[in-house]
Chain A
Amino acid sequence: MPDAEFTNQLEQHRGYLMRVAHLQLRDPDVAEDAVQETLLAALAGSGFSGKSSLRTWLTGILKHKIVDAIRRKQRDAVPVATLLGTGGDANIDDLDGLFREDGAWDSAPAPWGNPEDALAQRQFFDVMDMCLDKLPAATARVFVMREVLELETDEICKELAITANNLWVILYRARVALRICLEQNWFAGQARG
């Protein structure tokens, strides 16, 4: 019989799991199913050792559910290359205005003060959510696969049928865009203080 307290603890992570699943799968029903399966697997399994945080452990289970869902959807899915609007070959040179023609920074990164302080603040992660939402859907999906689900680059290339070079370009764009978004919406007010 499921332990009521453990069930409660699991429920606290449902919102987070839904956000991650939704970024990956884009279909609310499919995302809901993946999260539901994750929570059921967590209840049924005895794999949680307490060595990692509960959320890390759940993320690991969700990763497998998402990969399964992507495989099931593969036949009718729109290729990521199409979503990116690149015709398959991601172009790195369209980050307008970031660099001058000679490759020097046009607006160089600003100092962020002591950024580690941000990690202790809940609002920082709300800003992070907002910044992830502002990325193009396909870009956000690839970034979350790499940085939250921690898939290896060759796994991502295989799942999405893109080249390693395309993947590096997509991740570069995601990081550059997130860096700017965090700077504008969080660190701009901090460093001056």
Chain B
Amino acid sequence: MLLHRLTHMLSCQDASRLLSQMQDRPLFVREWVKLRLHLAVCNACSRFAEQLRFLRRAMKAYRG
């Protein structure tokens, strides 16, 4: 049961939401594990993750 819950794959849409939310709240361990598993096999979401991190750095730079 636990194994099933941990390995149930996220969709890209779910992964993108978690990637945004992790900038605003700590993820639960099960969310984090699922997200890592997804990112390990998904180039598009890995790129999205990098770009969200860049967006945050850009807003810091915007502020000066």
Known: A164-B25, A172-B20. A112 touches B11 (CB 8 A): no
Q: Measured between C-beta atoms, what is the minimum distance from A67 to chain B in Å?
A: 16
* Residues in B1-35 with C-beta less than 8 Å from chain A: 11-14, 16-17, 20-21, 23-25
* Residues in A167-193 with C-beta less than 8 Å from chain B: 167-168, 171-172, 175-176, 178-179, 182
Please tell me if the beta carbons of B24 and A146 are within 8 angstroms of each other in the complex.
Answer: yes
A125 to B54, CA, bound (A): 13
A93 to B1, CA, bound (A): 29
Most chain-B CB neighbours within 10 Å: which of A108, A125, A146? A108
Which B residues lie within 8 Å of A99 (CB)?
11-13, 16
Q: Which residues of A contact B (CB under 8 A)?
A: 16, 53-56, 59, 92, 98-99, 102-105, 108-112, 115-116, 118-119, 124-125, 128, 146-148, 153, 164, 167-168, 171-172, 175-176, 178-179, 182
A124 to B62, CA, bound (A): 10
Please tell me if the beta carbons of B20 and A171 are within 8 angstroms of each other in the complex.
Answer: yes
- The 25 listed contacts between A and B (C-beta, < 8 Å) are A16-B64, A53-B64, A55-B63, A56-B64, A92-B17, A99-B12, A105-B45, A115-B54, A125-B61, A146-B24, A147-B56, A148-B62, A148-B63, A167-B24, A168-B21, A168-B24, A168-B25, A171-B23, A171-B24, A172-B16, A172-B21, A175-B20, A178-B55, A179-B52, A182-B55
7 smallest beta-carbon distances between A and B, as pairs = A103-B11, A55-B64, A108-B44, A147-B59, A103-B13, A172-B20, A99-B13
Q: Which residues of B contact A (CB under 8 A)?
A: 11-14, 16-17, 20-21, 23-25, 44-45, 47-48, 50-52, 54-64
Which A residues lie within 8 Å of B45 (CB)?
105
Which B residues lie within 8 Å of A104 (CB)?
11-13
A-B pair number, CB within 8 angstroms: 86
Which B residues lie within 8 Å of A175 (CB)?
20, 23, 52, 55
Secondary structure of the B side of the interface?
helix
Secondary structure of the A side of the interface?
helix
Known: A172-B17, A176-B16, A179-B51. A119 touches B61 (CB 8 A): yes
A105 to B25, CA, bound (A): 24
| CB-CB nearest in chain B for A56 | B64
Which A residues lie within 8 Å of B54 (CB)?
112, 115-116
Q: Measured between C-beta atoms, what is the minimum distance from A76 to chain B in Å?
A: 29
A137 to B45, CA, bound (A): 28
